[in-house]
Structure 1
């Protein structure tokens, strides 16, 4: 699967929308002045709450280079909250964005890969023997969160380690905000009847965002992650999406599993941080 600038821009717009909606929901939950959502050069700068995974600048590079004065204000707002500015910049965006950020003192701290798969309406879900995946309703939110948080707390050692860690309470807040405002769907996997993992999905503009998945350590290497992935792809195809995308750490087990199912590496995001 080939990814050009047009497709990358489409994916980044959907990612920007996700961050925008989740951060706006956090502001509604916490009250006026708790955070901010600021459009910038086709992307968004957002701060949901202290320590949130939604605190970032995203989607830059597809509608020109940001105005330095806009960055001045955004950096001031993050500094006022004692938080660094994290910018995620696609390699297919305008190279002038990374050039501008590095001249302002942003440091390259990590990369993340965006992989994609073309979808068709006749896709069906498959799973290993003994593994069952089902949608997770509000009554199972705590069960789902515990599975995801525990899985993330024990990452696979394969590939490049993530530069971020988030407390379970912050993940719970973000997922509740995203479920209500951005249409995130949650899924639980059970293996021989026991909870084995959890995952989530969002569909927008024909793009299915696979917005996270984790498997409990004792259930790994038994097809749980592949089953969670297959179930979400089947639902996305039924929902009319023509492409599914997932973000992984470079060289990780998640990347390996998705490539086994036919995903192709579309592009890489550079993670640039200014303290």
Structure 2
């Protein structure tokens, strides 16, 4: 699958909307934080240590001026937070030059993978596993499964530069599922909830926003079943592309590519303390 700058801009716009909506929900819940539009993207601060604290989606709608960046940096300094910028490699190269000139350091990368929908057939859901939408009565259990998955990331490939406390992950996922249109799913195996996952549909893009399996149910096709069900339902809903973000060389990337996803582009992670 070829990724043009137009497609990258579309994906980054969906990511911007996801981050902005989740951060705004956290601000409403806690009475603090900020969500500031910036050059087509967003500068977001939800709460201390949150994965939603970032500048995302930049580089496809002009370059900010010095005064705008000064103000953003002051806002992050006021809450004692470093500034993390996630910059797509297909963004305007002037952004990288601007940020590195202001002292931002390259600390890591993340990969964005995608596949067309409906695309090639996905593996059939294994016998004995059922995937269904997760209702509000089991929200806490679903949250426990997914938060534990985020708290124990891949050890294969390039390690993430970030670690988040479990309670912070849980808060971010609660905000995203409550306000950003994130849909929750569970996989049932042997009559028990074996895994959980989520997806968000935005402007024809299915954002795969996380999945995890309970350790006792791993290696029985639960992850594959969750992926197949979400892709099928996204295609039915009219989405024409599904995207997933992974660490470079990770098991998550390997699994996604086995299921028809292509590497579209990489985001550089730039940080200023």
TM range (shorter): over 0.9
1:265 is matched with 263
Q: Deviations over 1:124-178 (max 9, x none)?
A: 7732233322211111111111111222333332111222222222222222221
Aligned mates of 2:213, 2:160 — CA distance in 1: 16
Aligned mates of 2:189, 2:242 — CA distance in 1: 25
| TM-score, normalised by the number of residues in structure 1 | 0.94
Are the aligned partners of 2:151 and 2:165 in contact in 1 as well (CA < 8 Å)?
no
Are the aligned partners of 1:160 and 1:252 in contact in 2 as well (CA < 8 Å)?
yes
1:251 is matched with 249
Deviates more, 1:212-221 or 1:11-20: 212-221
Q: 1:117 to 1:161 in 2, by over 3 A?
A: same
Give the aligned CA root-mean-square deviation in angstroms. 1.7
Alignment partner of 1:133 out of 126, 131, 134: 131
Q: Is 1:221 aligned with 2:219? A: yes
Alignment partner of 1:180 out of 172, 178, 181: 178
Aligned mates of 1:9, 1:230 — CA distance in 2: 26
| TM-score, normalised by the number of residues in structure 2 | 0.95
1:146 is matched with 144
Counterpart secondary structure, 2:130: strand
2:30 is matched with 30
Q: Is 1:13 aligned with 2:20? A: no
Are the aligned partners of 1:207 and 1:241 in contact in 2 as well (CA < 8 Å)?
yes
In structure 1, runs of 5+ residues without a counterpart are none
Q: 1:124 to 1:155 in 2, by over 3 A?
A: closer
In structure 2, runs of 5+ residues without a counterpart are none
Q: 1:122 to 1:158 in 2, by over 3 A?
A: closer
Are the aligned partners of 1:215 and 1:225 in contact in 2 as well (CA < 8 Å)?
yes
2:51 is matched with 53
Are the aligned partners of 1:199 and 1:228 in contact in 2 as well (CA < 8 Å)?
yes
Q: Deviations over 1:68-98 (max 9, x none)?
A: 2111111111111111100000000001111
Aligned mates of 1:266, 1:122 — CA distance in 2: 17
Aligned mates of 1:214, 1:99 — CA distance in 2: 38
Aligned mates of 2:28, 2:37 — CA distance in 1: 18
Alignment partner of 1:62 out of 56, 60, 63: 60
Aligned mates of 2:119, 2:249 — CA distance in 1: 30
Are the aligned partners of 1:121 and 1:238 in contact in 2 as well (CA < 8 Å)?
no
Counterpart secondary structure, 1:60: coil
